[in-house]
């Protein structure tokens, strides 16, 4: 991995985010900046977290303890597309279990694994607040709703191109 | 009667010009130009509006607890961490009509004397965060946010804060910890946020829907709001309807319609999906007790149950439930109660912050025991063991997550004990794909 530094425009954004909080409370920018870091480097490696700590003038442990608390931060390398499917009650009622089984079969991996070509990682997450539109999974910022086996195939086909 | 969603389907309602063409931001003008902050608070008190995040605490009263020491900033923080399984109303409202929330934020911040406010949105909803940020910029450009709003001398900055994926941050003190850049561990109370909240300053935390409702209250008066609904359940409520119904989605209902109407009327859920029968409902998000068909439609005393705080809780936890966040999950006869309870137990196990032993350990035990019952390895004593564990979590934790984790398990056993017994006594039947217990003589059994 090359040297870990945000591009100039992201650094501008970091400054703006820190300015949202009173002086001396820059630690509040931690979650927003961890999201930026993960968007940049795909996962929060110790080096990335150390860099985030340096941007906020806080100690590395303050970043580690936060990144490891929140589900969204990947503490291990992930594939190009991280598929996070909702496994909570309402999505299961709508046939989620079958659809997610199909997804795993299609990609030939289990939850928590990455395909050999590094294209896809599957993660299991809790309720995504889209219960009426379930089953649901999320890839980055995009929600995929009303999933069926056929729809899953279409999405995977599209992303495999 | 629609208050929050009247214009939600108007094309481009997320643009400020369209929103203003439909009367948007009139409450900001009225509040800031014609009312004092205390007058706004007074109207909200009169409205009887209750916290829409689940607790149902009167919003005006919560506001009146806010400490106002000289020279100390006060904050309004909007709780948009919506993560309670079954609930997706705030997601819907912010996605479709972000200005509805922003208008309410300005009105509410003005009432509280806050000059900086935050909307804490669950991080998964990054696309909604982008929608909100665009809408906030539009409001700044129109002079509705920033310095000297509408020439009044009142200043307000509004920011969106993303979460990181943690249900516990919906608990208000955990949310504040998270907003301070820490793990979402709930704080001991007192002190309450109204005295020591964000960065130890007086803070009010309100749900999206509660804040959004304040604009209508300012425009039409607290009395007009209180005229909608029944008794202490005033106004309208967004209900997130999911599960085995014909029309899942978010519905704004006047509080007080019957549960039966809500489920079967074409105006709302449209009834149970074709060829199936109602078996059970979780009426207020995963935390509240599940009720079988007969008890959700009528109280134990035989009265029609209404969509109100009071009617849904009629009968206490013996035969009633709660309105909660309005996450209304409907199950037909194909739903396996044991499996559904397991999914909820796994949820709470995953989401426990780990601070309090009863919750950290107990949620894991419930998950494990339910898992073995579901997978054909249940033991006879497991049902009582679950009840015992649930009882030992309830009331013994810093925050309500412990209660939220124990109630669904206890209620499922209370109302569907025979289904759990069937799983334990007939593992070979219960583990067949698609197999569901059929209670003899039940209304949902053919």
The CATH architecture of the domain made up of B230-332 is Roll (3.10)
CB-closest option in B85, B165, B244 to A70: B165
Residue A67: list chain B partners with CB under 8 A: 164
Q: Which residue of B has its CA nearest to A19?
A: B159
CATH number of B16-227: 3.40.50.11540
Tokens representing B149 are 């709003």
Number of H-type helices and E-type strands within chain A:
7, 4
The CATH architecture of the domain made up of B337-430 is Up-down Bundle (1.20)
Q: Print pLDDT tens along chain B (446 aa).
A: 899 999 999 999 999 999 999 999 999 999 999 999 999 999 999 999 999 999 999 999 999 999 999 999 999 999 999 999 999 999 999 999 999 999 999 999 999 999 999 999 999 999 999 999 999 999 999 999 999 999 999 999 999 999 999 999 999 999 999 999 999 999 999 999 999 999 999 999 999 999 999 999 999 999 999 999 999 999 999 999 999 999 999 999 999 999 999 999 999 999 999 999 999 999 999 999 999 999 999 999 999 999 999 999 999 999 999 999 999 999 999 999 999 999 999 999 999 999 999 999 999 999 999 999 999 999 999 999 999 999 999 999 999 999 999 999 999 999 999 999 999 999 999 999 889 999 999 999 86
**pLDDT value of position B358:** 98
Q: Where are the domains of chain B?
A: 16-227, 230-332, 337-430
Burial of B345 (0-12, 13-18, 19+ CB in 10 A): buried
Question: What letters, b where the CB count within 10 A reaches 16 and e where it falls short, cover B188-198?
Answer: eeeebbbbbbb
User: What pTM was estimated for this model as a whole?
Assistant: 0.97
Asked whether the beta carbons of residue A72 and residue B84 sit closer than 8 angstroms, the reply is: no
ipTM exceeds 0.85: yes
Query: Is the Cβ–Cβ distance between B121 and B162 less than 8 Å?
Result: yes
**pLDDT value of position B434:** 85
- Structure confidence at residue A2 as a pLDDT band (50, 70, 90): low
For residues A94 and A127, give the distance between their C-alpha atoms in angstroms, rounded to a whole number: 13
CATH number of A8-67: 1.10.10
Common-topology check for domains A8-67 and A81-160: no
**Averaged confidence pLDDT in chain A:** 96
Q: How are beta strands A81-86 and A120-125 bridged, if at all?
A: parallel
For residues B345 and B404, give the distance between their C-alpha atoms in angstroms, rounded to a whole number: 10
Asked whether the beta carbons of residue A70 and residue B90 sit closer than 8 angstroms, the reply is: no
Closest approach of B94 to chain A, Cα-based (Å): 12
Tokens representing B128 are 């909604």
Look up residue B188 and give its DSSP letter. P
Angle, helices B89-96 vs B98-112, to 10°: value is 100
Q: Where are the domains of chain A?
A: 8-67, 81-160
The CATH architecture of the domain made up of A81-160 is 3-Layer(aba) Sandwich (3.40)
Tokens representing B124 are 């998964």
Q: Which residue of A29, A62, A89, A101 to mutate against B (max B Cβ within 10 Å)?
A: A89
Tokens representing B374 are 């579901």
CB-closest option in A73, A129, A142 to B83: A129
Closest approach of B221 to chain A, Cα-based (Å): 32
Residue A1, pLDDT > 70, answer: no
Closest among B359, B372, B365, B253 to B306, alpha carbons compared: B253
For residues A17 and B330, give the distance between their C-alpha atoms in angstroms, rounded to a whole number: 42
């Amino acid at each position: 991995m090359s040297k870990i530094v945000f591009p100039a425009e992201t650094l501008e954004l970091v400054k703006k985010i820190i300015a949202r909080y009173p002086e001396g409370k820059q630690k509040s920018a931690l979650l927003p900046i961890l999201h930026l870091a993960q968007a940049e480097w795909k996962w929060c490696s110790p080096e990335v977290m150390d860099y985030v700590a340096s941007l906020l003038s806080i100690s590395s442990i303050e970043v580690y303890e936060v990144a490891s608390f929140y589900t969204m931060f990947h503490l291990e390398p992930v594939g190009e597309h991280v598929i996070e499917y909702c496994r909570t009650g309402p999505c299961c009622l709508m046939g989620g279990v079958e659809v997610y089984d199909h997804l795993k079969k299609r990609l030939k991996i289990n939850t928590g694994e990455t395909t050999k070509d590094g294209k896809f990682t599957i993660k299991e997450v809790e309720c995504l607040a889209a219960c009426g539109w379930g089953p649901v999974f999320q890839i980055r910022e995009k929600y995929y709703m009303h999933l069926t086996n056929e729809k899953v195939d279409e999405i995977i086909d599209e992303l495999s191109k | 009667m629609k208050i929050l969603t009247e214009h939600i389907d108007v094309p481009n309602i997320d643009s400020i010009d369209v929103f203003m063409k439909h009367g948007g931001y009139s409450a900001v003008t009225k509040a800031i130009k014609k009312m004092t902050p205390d007058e706004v608070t007074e109207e909200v008190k009169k409205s009887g509006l209750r916290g829409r995040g689940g607790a149902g605490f009167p919003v005006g009263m919560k506001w009146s607890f806010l400490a106002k020491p000289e020279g100390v900033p006060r904050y309004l923080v909007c709780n948009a961490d919506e993560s309670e399984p079954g609930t997706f109303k705030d997601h819907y409202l912010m996605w479709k009509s972000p200005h509805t929330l922003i208008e309410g934020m300005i009105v509410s911040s003005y009432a509280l004397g806050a000059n900086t406010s935050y909307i804490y949105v669950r991080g998964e909803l990054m696309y909604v965060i982008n929608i909100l940020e665009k809408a906030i910029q539009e409001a700044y450009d129109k002079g509705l946010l920033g310095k000297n709003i509408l020439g009044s001398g009142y200043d307000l900055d509004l920011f969106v804060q993303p979460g990181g994926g943690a249900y516990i941050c919906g608990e208000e003190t955990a949310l504040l910890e998270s907003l301070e850049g820490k793990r979402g561990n709930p704080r001991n109370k007192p002190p309450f946020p109204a005295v020591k909240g964000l960065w130890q300053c007086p803070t009010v935390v309100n749900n999206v829907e509660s804040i959004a409702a304040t604009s209508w209250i300012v425009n039409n008066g607290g009395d007009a709001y209180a005229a909608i609904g029944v008794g202490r359940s005033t106004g309208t409520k967004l209900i997130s309807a999911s599960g085995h119904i014909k029309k899942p989605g978010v519905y704004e209902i006047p509080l007080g319609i019957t549960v039966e109407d809500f489920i079967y009327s074409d105006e709302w859920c449209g009834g149970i999906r074709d060829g199936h029968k109602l078996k059970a409902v979780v009426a207020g998000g995963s935390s509240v007790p599940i009720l079988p068909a007969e008890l959700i439609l009528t109280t134990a005393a035989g009265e029609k149950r209404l969509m109100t705080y009071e009617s849904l809780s009629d009968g206490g936890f013996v035969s009633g439930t709660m309105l909660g966040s309005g996450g209304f999950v409907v199950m037909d006869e194909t739903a396996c109660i044991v499996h559904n309870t397991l999914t909820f137990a796994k949820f709470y196990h995953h989401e426990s912050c780990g601070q309090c032993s009863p919750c950290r350990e107990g949620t894991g035990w419930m998950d494990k025991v339910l898992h073995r019952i579901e997978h054909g390895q249940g033991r006879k004593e497991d049902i009582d063991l679950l009840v015992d564990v649930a009882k030992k979590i309830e009331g013994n934790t810093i925050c309500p997550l412990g209660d939220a984790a124990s109630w669904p398990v206890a209620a499922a056993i209370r109302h569907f004990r025979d289904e759990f017994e069937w799983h334990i006594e007939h593992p070979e039947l219960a583990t067949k794909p698609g197999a569901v217990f059929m209670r003899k003589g039940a209304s949902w059994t053919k």
